[in-house]
Structure 1
Amino acid sequence: MHVLIAADAFGATLGPRTTGDALAAGWARGAPHDTVEVRPLSDGGHGFVALVGDALGVRPEPDGVLVVPGTHGTSTVYIDGHGCIDAGRSSAWLAEQIEHALSLGATRIVVGLPGPHETVRGPDAGAALLGALGALAPERHGRWTGRLGAVTASDLGGLAAVRERLRGVDLVGATASDVPLLGLHGASASAAAAGVLGAQEAHDLEREIGHFAHVVRGILAPLADLRRPLPLAGSTRGDGARADVARALTTGAGTGAAGGLGFALCALGGRLVPGADVFGDTARVSERAERADLVLTARGELDGSSFQGSALAVAVRAAAQWGVPCLAVAGTSLMSRREQASAGLSALSELHAGETPATGDPRGTVEDLDAQAERLARTWSPARLVTRT
């Protein structure tokens, strides 16, 4: 039997590779005659580019940028947006990578945007990115030096020119977060909830970002080429529809990712897509599931929201597409058996059913996953499943 193990990170304890390897080791011990294929998944967060490189067999450049040649002179460049968080960098770092991608003749640029737990110290709605690209003044030596709350329309006089430069490029934000730019669950509020901003700091920053976003929306709303930052209901024709798209720049899911980088990418003419879906298409998870007799995935905590734009959802959907059983291992689950079946799971195995899981012990979690996979293999691998030809 061919088993596809397609798993994302297991909570905050284990990365995708470690999770997949632990499950594979247990399954191989429980059913040594089976063929086990491990495909780590990503939702666009930390490690996105490295995992894309693994899936495609292409080695990233030293700065973490991955260049994938296409057909007819096209190429896709993948950038790990987590680089804006590493070493205290601002979003200006991303501008350097985008310029590099453009110099390589990229026709598609995909930026992995970190998840909600990977919060930057000071959300800036991508102002440093826009400044470094020449869309926002004042800037010195490629760095924006102004205040969000004082930005005027004239400061953004270069935005149209930068959008024109990017017109022939498919700019994609692969979001691991559905955080909007503004609001009770926006970028500033998320930073406060993570403890990196005080309540008053978050309140003041929300007001400044709101002003900045209002100015940007005012510039973009009249543009005939304004593209949807996210899938929106209704037609895109007419002034009213363009205004709806402009409003979605601040309220749309993912616009607050990485401190507002999602918003900035949309302002540049880009679009936001769930990172798990981007990775699933790139790594051809559906094609791998077609060749498998069973799909095994895992997630630290499982509830109804776990199937919305997640790597878990990609694995379950790929299995369902080909009528392949899909098993899941979870640390804890809040779903009933009926809910599990409705979501597409053939079976769910909990590591800590009815108890509080231990935290901070990766070795213990690896051992638990290994043991659980072995038990599942002994149940599902024998002739109860007919291997397809």
Structure 2
Amino acid sequence: MHIVIAPDSFKEGLSARHVAQAIEAGMVPILPNARFSQLPMADGGEGFAQSFLDQLGGERYHCEVTGPDFRSVTAEFVINREHRLAVIDVASASGLPLVPQHARHPRHTTSLGTGELIRAALDHDIDEIIIGLGGSATNDAGAGILTALGAKLLDGAGKPIPPTGEGLGSLMTLDLDGLDARLNTVKLTAACDVDNPLCGPHGATTVFGPQKGAREEDIRDLEQYLHRFASICHLQLGQSICHFSGAGAAGGMGATLGGLLGAQLEPGVDLLLSRTHAHHVLAQADWVITGEGRVDGQTQHGKVPAAIARIAHADDVPVIVLAGSVGDDCEALYQTGVTAIFPIQAGPCELSDALMNSKKNLMRTGENIARLIRLAGYT
């Protein structure tokens, strides 16, 4: 029997690789004769570059960059020389977990570090940079990226604005003439886990601002600042960056990457699946185990479990989803090919306890699933 374990990370708990390892550790004692394959996955957020490294191989590089709150952080990216490819996680340089919970405020955070990672990747002999958009602490529409890559964002006095969400409120001039010339010779691909536009009721600020620390008055202001940025891009550069799918990803970084820097935006999990050997492995499975930190109605829209289920369902492979928590409207996943959904928590608990016990809970749930598989006559 061949069991493929292909989960996403459990955000702020365990990486996708560690989730897969915990599930297998729980199943192996019950199914000692089974063959296991681990396919750590990501939808564009935390762990996206690691998933490429796990499945394609390559080298990991570390560098000091500007964190989202302007403190220095050590970020990483992956280089695969065979494919002449660099893979970057926004979360590594500009991620929400890099800011202490009490200090999170999207008015004052920046994507500078992500731009610095792109610049560092350009130092290698590559043809493409894939940027995983997800898990950001920012709402600056990529102003930090542009600044790090040589663009000038100036206020009415001709002085550089702070490359933050609030800084966009004083933007008057956007000059891209100084952009790093190496961008002209490298393909940019942005991996999105959302399809939101930049502005409006479904935009970056309104939908994602609260989870980054924005209050109601902040949301109103930040929304105006993004509109200002989009208007200046249209008036001064002739670029419409506001309404395309994915423009609102990563606090609006999708708008800058796709609208100003020419990046192609693709659903993150589909991109990962198409560039790796995952399709072939899934087709050979007898059972597939996947999962993510929270499963709800949004999971069917570009998230790992839904994408894995659609592929496995085409080959009539049963799919079991594990979740840190199960929210509303997850029943729609059964229409995508999911066989069953299991929460891993033993009972109600605080979020901090759930995160701390993720490994133990995954192992226990993996063991219980293995017992059901054995009971069904599989050995």
TM-score normalised by L of structure 1: 0.77
Letter in 2 for 1:52: F
Q: Give the number of equivalent residue pairs.
A: 346
Q: How far apart in 2 are the matches of 1:378 and 1:327?
A: 13
Q: How far apart in 2 are the matches of 1:109 and 1:282?
A: 13
RMSD: 3.1
The residue aligned with 1:27 is 27
Letter in 1 for 2:81: P
The residue aligned with 1:80 is 89
CA deviation after TM superposition for structure 1 residue 365, in Å: 3.7
Confirm whether residue 65 of structure 1 aligns to residue 77 of structure 2.
yes
**Conserved in 2, the CA contact under 8 Å of 1:325 and 1:345?**
yes
CA deviation after TM superposition for structure 1 residue 26, in Å: 1.6
TM-score normalised by L of structure 2: 0.79
SS at match of 1:281: helix
Match of 1:303 among 293, 296, 301: 296
Confirm whether residue 282 of structure 1 aligns to residue 298 of structure 2.
no
Confirm whether residue 360 of structure 1 aligns to residue 352 of structure 2.
yes
Q: How far apart in 1 are the matches of 2:270 and 2:253?
A: 19
Q: Aligned in 2, Cα 1:357/1:272: closer, same or farther, shift over 3 Å?
A: farther
**Conserved in 2, the CA contact under 8 Å of 1:332 and 1:352?**
no
The residue aligned with 1:184 is 201
Q: Which runs of 5+ in 2 are unaligned?
A: 64-75, 100-107
Q: How far apart in 2 are the matches of 1:384 and 1:33?
A: 13
Show CA shifts across 1:143-197 (max 9, x none): 9436534444xx33435x7498534432111123444321234333356413623
CA deviation after TM superposition for structure 1 residue 110, in Å: 0.7
SS at match of 2:334: helix
The residue aligned with 1:132 is 148
Confirm whether residue 272 of structure 1 aligns to residue 272 of structure 2.
no
CA deviation after TM superposition for structure 1 residue 270, in Å: 0.9
Percent of pairs with identical residues: 29
Q: How far apart in 2 are the matches of 1:300 and 1:104?
A: 34
Counterparts of 1:159-308 in structure 2 under 5 Å? Answer: 162=179, 166-190=183-207, 192-194=209-211, 196-221=213-238, 246=240, 249-266=241-258, 267-308=260-301
The residue aligned with 1:239 is none
Q: How far apart in 2 are the matches of 1:263 and 1:98?
A: 16
**Conserved in 2, the CA contact under 8 Å of 1:10 and 1:299?**
yes
Q: How far apart in 1 are the matches of 2:37 and 2:87?
A: 25
**Conserved in 2, the CA contact under 8 Å of 1:132 and 1:144?**
no
CA deviation after TM superposition for structure 1 residue 34, in Å: 0.6
SS at match of 2:61: coil
**Conserved in 2, the CA contact under 8 Å of 1:191 and 1:202?**
no
Show CA shifts across 1:205-239 (max 9, x none): 321221111121335547xxxxxxxxxxxxxxxxx
Show CA shifts across 1:80-121 (max 9, x none): 212034479732333333233333242211111223xx422x
SS at match of 2:137: coil
SS at match of 1:180: coil
Q: Aligned in 2, Cα 1:30/1:333: closer, same or farther, shift over 3 Å?
A: farther
CA deviation after TM superposition for structure 1 residue 373, in Å: 1.9
Q: How far apart in 1 are the matches of 2:333 and 2:219?
A: 38
Show CA shifts across 1:323-368 (max 9, x none): 322122234354576x443220123334469x74553224544333
Q: How far apart in 1 are the matches of 2:32 and 2:17?
A: 20
The residue aligned with 1:8 is 8
Show CA shifts across 1:246-290 (max 9, x none): 2xx323343223322111111111122222222223342212112
Q: How far apart in 1 are the matches of 2:287 and 2:120?
A: 41
SS at match of 2:213: coil
**Conserved in 2, the CA contact under 8 Å of 1:127 and 1:144?**
no
SS at match of 2:10: coil
Q: Aligned in 2, Cα 1:288/1:12: closer, same or farther, shift over 3 Å?
A: same
Counterparts of 1:292-331 in structure 2 under 5 Å? Answer: 292-330=285-323, 331=325
Q: How far apart in 1 are the matches of 2:314 and 2:253?
A: 33
Q: Aligned in 2, Cα 1:29/1:130: closer, same or farther, shift over 3 Å?
A: same
The residue aligned with 1:113 is 133
Q: How far apart in 2 are the matches of 1:11 and 1:133?
A: 29
Q: How far apart in 2 are the matches of 1:357 and 1:296?
A: 24
Q: Which runs of 5+ in 1 are unaligned?
A: 223-245
SS at match of 2:371: helix
Q: Aligned in 2, Cα 1:156/1:314: closer, same or farther, shift over 3 Å?
A: same
Letter in 2 for 1:26: G
